Amino acid sequence: MRKTLIGGALAGALVLAGCGTADDSSSDSSSSGGTTAVKLQLQWFVQAQFAGYIAAVDKGFYKEQGLDVQILEGGVDIVPQTVLAQGQADFAVSWVPKALASREQGAEITEIAQIFQRSGTYQVSFKDSNITSPADLRGKKVGNWGFGNEFELFAGMTKAGLDPGKDVTLVQQQFDMQALLRRDIDAAQAMSYNEYAQLLEAKNPATGQLYQPADFTVIDWNTVGTAMLQDAVWANSSKLESDTAYQETAVKFLTGSLKGWAYCRDNAAECRDMVVKKGSKLGASHQLWQMNEVNKLVWPSPNGVGLLDETAWKATVDLALTTKNQDGQTVITKQPTGTAYTNEYVQKAIDALKASGTDVTGASFKPETVTLNEGGA
Amino acid sequence: MRRRLRLVFGAVAALLLGAALWEGYKAVGSDDGASLFGVRVLPRADDSAMPHVLDILRRFGEPELAGGDPIWLVVLDACLFTLRSVAVGFGVGAVIGLVLAVVMQRFRVVERGLLPYVILSQTVPLIALAPVIAGWGGKLSLGSYPWQPWMSVATIAAYLAFFPIAVGMLRGLHSPAAIAEELMHSYAAGWWRTLVKLRLPASTPYLFPALRLAGAAAVVGAVVGEISTGTRGGVGRLVIEYSREATGDPAKVYTAMIGAALLGLAVAALVGAAEFLLNRRRRVLV
């Protein structure tokens, strides 16, 4: 009976499409009982890549700031910067090149913090393939994910004097790393904190043991010099311009988030447990590996965590303008217009954290050594 | 009783045959599959592409994560979660489909105007639609009840489910012979009477196949909707999460896929049971 009631109500809502708009446009920072409700849209499911935000919720760092933060998970077809631009979230986490492309298509968003200072994208191959630099990719089968995830690879190949359209065979890669392990492709795209770990969690049929880092060669785009900026926090441009309450919320949100990231730097295992508790389906050793690798991307942050390095921004924009993928497309066609980024709010957040005694540079950060178990368990 | 025994025997035999074919191909097929002009026409038969049936079954009994619930329980939970979206989506889709069919039958001009759009609705790619529907999440509410992510999934299921019912029922409502309609006319029966006494009973042979199709479509819609929007809790989400672990744990993906397939079978069985009950009742009445 209840089902039919809900069904009927649903049908009504469908027929009246649009008439069911909630009374309060709930995604606006509506205050309730002294706390401000904030929605954060992630790029993917909950995993250690987003540990800082999760820790800030669990440890009450947002609450200290008077915020009630709800974390929205991503999905295959969820584009965080679109969700943000449409007003269904207050802040979003997105890679810089993808967000720049969305901006060019009309999304009014502004970067307010650069959480990952470094890129986590690798191109991985078996050691015996002797691919130690992008130039060695000539004539090889090169896996890539496409959908805007491939531009560092293409920039690297172009820099090495290769024509990605002619000199290599490009292969569309799946979510898993089986194609590389079976040698269907010679080099595979992998995130240091995810797919690379999956390789090390798989059994090598030749030895009966897990694959070892020594079995692979890694091309790191940070070293090659074609890295592009990744996880950044984006905000709604027009609200940022005119809405003083939103500006204050932005500073508070960043203060809480950065405190979360600092906490996860010093308490990797505890943050791993929080992520696992949030219902991540990836195993515990995999998540600890991911936490550790993500920490390496965030820390150390010599200028302060979350502060955007303008040289790196310029390098990312230049690569986004000039690098062509196999279809001859670039990420963006002209320089970003309007306020694409601002360090104003993150600087305030850093100052606030410094004043309260939080280490915001992580100069003494030392990554751990994580042992992966089979299947990441 | 013997018929039922034969049915059970047939179902078990079909399952065994499926498993035997799987293992048979694994035994004779090349580990590298077979390629024709560079295109793989036969799948690989190695353990990471096609795990042994026993390994998959064993995986059901092992915990999902170290120290967690066994996979069968996780998959069952997820299937039940998805079943709610399927049921609501199916119900809403059925109501919309029925209403559309009746209106289209009643007004010729509506049929001509609407039917192309009904057909067009099914050619819109789901991946374009899903984020839009998911986006309602922050904006809609049912009275004081906020919009839940699973409702977006149910909406996608309804969107796929209404179509076969609208088209099938329209056909069914048109099915009575002209002579029967004229008889009703001679009784001075109005449109409503004719609908209830003649057209609806005459359309049941068209309705149930349409309902079965709609049930399958609702399952597909719910699973794809979950994958697309990343809705937590359902079996679609499990499929995508487990497929990321295919590198190290290939059997795990198949547990979620089998779960989704069983969900489809369960929904088909429910529709079949409804048909059986309704037919029996009608036989008693007649």
Residue A170 has pLDDT above 80, yes or no: yes
How much is the pLDDT for B138?
Answer: 60
How much is the pLDDT for A27?
Answer: 41
Size of interface A-B (CB pairs under 8 A): 136
Q: Is A84 touching B (CB cutoff 8 A)? A: no
Residues of A in contact with B49 (CB under 8 A): 178
> What is the ipTM score, two decimals?
0.73
Hey, what domains does chain A have and what are their CATH numbers?
A: 31-118+229-372 (3.40.190.10), 121-224 (3.40.190.10)
Residues of A in contact with B88 (CB under 8 A): 3, 6-7, 10
Residues of B in contact with A77 (CB under 8 A): 127, 130-131, 228-229
How much is the pLDDT for A102?
Answer: 92
Q: Which of B244, B253, B255 to probe by mutation at the A interface, max A CB count within 10 Å?
A: B244
The CA distance from B128 to the nearest CA of chain A, in Å, is 8
Q: Is A73 touching B (CB cutoff 8 A)? A: yes
pLDDT band at B137 (very low <50, low <70, confident <90, very high): low
Q: Which of A281, A285, A286, A289 to probe by mutation at the B interface, max B CB count within 10 Å?
A: A281
- The mean per-residue pLDDT over the stretch B32-43 comes to 73
List the 142-201 stretch of A: residues with Cβ below 8 A of B: 175-178, 181-182, 198-199, 201
Give pTM, 2 decimals: 0.82
Hey, what domains does chain B have and what are their CATH numbers?
A: 1-50 (no CATH), 51-285 (1.10.3720.10)
User: Tens of pLDDT along A200-254?
Assistant: 988 888 898 999 999 999 999 999 999 999 999 999 999 999 999 999 999 999 9
Q: Name the residue with higher pLDDT: B248 or A154.
A: A154
- Taking an 8 Å cut-off on Cβ atoms, the answer to whether B138 and A87 are in contact is yes
- Please list the residues that pair with A144 across neighbouring strands: A172
Q: How many CB atoms sit inside 10 A of residue B106's CB?
A: 14
Closest CA to A192 of A51, A286, A301, A74: A286
**Which residue of A11, A13, A21 is in closest CB contact with B96?**
A11
Distance CA B52, CA B24 (A): 11
Closest CA to B149 of B211, B46, B222: B222
Quickly tell me which residue has 């062509």 as its tokens: A324
Residue A10 has pLDDT above 60, yes or no: no
Q: What is the DSSP string of A62-111?
A: HHHTTEEEEEEP--TT--HHHHHHTTS-SEEEE-HHHHHHHHHTT--EEE
Residues of B in contact with A277 (CB under 8 A): none
User: Tens of pLDDT along A16-67?
Assistant: 333 333 334 444 444 555 789 999 999 988 999 999 999 999 999 999 999 9
**Angle, nearest 10°, between helix axes B250-285 and B235-243?**
160
- The mean per-residue pLDDT over the stretch B240-266 comes to 86
**Which residue of A25, A78, A178 is in closest CB contact with B131?**
A78
User: Tens of pLDDT along B59-81?
Assistant: 888 887 766 788 899 999 999 99
Q: Looking at chain A, which runs of residues are DSSP E strands?
A: 31-32, 35-41, 67-72, 91-94, 109-114, 121-126, 141-144, 169-172, 187-191, 216-220, 232-236
* From A314-318, A351-355, B140-144, the region with the lowest mean pLDDT: B140-144
User: Cβ contacts of residue B52 below 8 Å, gap of 6+?
Assistant: B23, B26
Highest mean pLDDT among A7-11, B217-221, B273-277: B217-221
Residues of B in contact with A282 (CB under 8 A): 241, 244-245
How much is the pLDDT for A205?
Answer: 86
Q: Name the residue with higher pLDDT: B130 or A44.
A: A44
The CA distance from B138 to the nearest CA of chain A, in Å, is 5
**Which residue of A9, A88, A182 is in closest CB contact with B138?**
A88
Q: How many CA atoms lie within 13 A of B162 on its CB side?
A: 25
The CA distance from B65 to the nearest CA of chain A, in Å, is 6
Distance CA A167, CA A164 (A): 6
**Residues A156/A226, Cβ–Cβ less than 8 Å:** yes
Report CA A38 to chain centroid distance, whole Å: 19
- Taking an 8 Å cut-off on Cβ atoms, the answer to whether A14 and B155 are in contact is yes
Minimum Cα–Cα distance from A201: chain B residue: B248
How much is the pLDDT for B149?
Answer: 81
Q: Is A352 touching B (CB cutoff 8 A)? A: no
Distances (CA, A) of A285 to A73, A194, A269, A355, B63: 22, 11, 10, 35, 15
**Which residue of A7, A176, A203 is in closest CB contact with B92?**
A7
- The mean per-residue pLDDT over the stretch B97-109 comes to 91
Amino acid identity for residue A361 in this structure? T
Minimum Cα–Cα distance from A84: chain B residue: B135
Highest mean pLDDT among A53-62, B117-126, B218-227: A53-62
Distance CA B165, CA B93 (A): 8
- Taking an 8 Å cut-off on Cβ atoms, the answer to whether B240 and A76 are in contact is yes
**Residues A279/B232, Cβ–Cβ less than 8 Å:** yes
Residues of B in contact with A76 (CB under 8 A): 127, 227-228, 230, 240
